[in-house]
Amino acid sequence: MTDFERKLYQIFVNMRLYGKKTTLPELKRKTGKGEQEIREVTKSLIRKGALSWDKEMKIWII
């Protein structure tokens, strides 16, 4: 994983541990990155199997 992938992954983990929903504005604020870069890295994490989206429950599975 790249540094940014690790950082984004850790944000997903921490938000999940504290029972908060991960939103794009929140990710932009916490990372200082733009929407496009966050989306690309999130897709990369999904392809690597680190993240998946549960459509039914509308949550990230780590």
3-state secondary structure 21-43: CCCHHHHHHHHCCCHHHHHHHHH
Query: pTM here?
Result: 0.85
Domains of the chain, earliest start first? 3-61 (1.10.10)
One-letter amino acid for residue 57 of the chain: M
The percent helix, strand, coil of the chain (3-state, each to 5) is 60, 10, 30
Residue 59 in tokens: 């949550």
pLDDT digit string (tens) for the chain, length 62 residues: 889 999 999 999 999 899 888 889 999 999 999 999 999 999 999 999 999 888 888 888 88
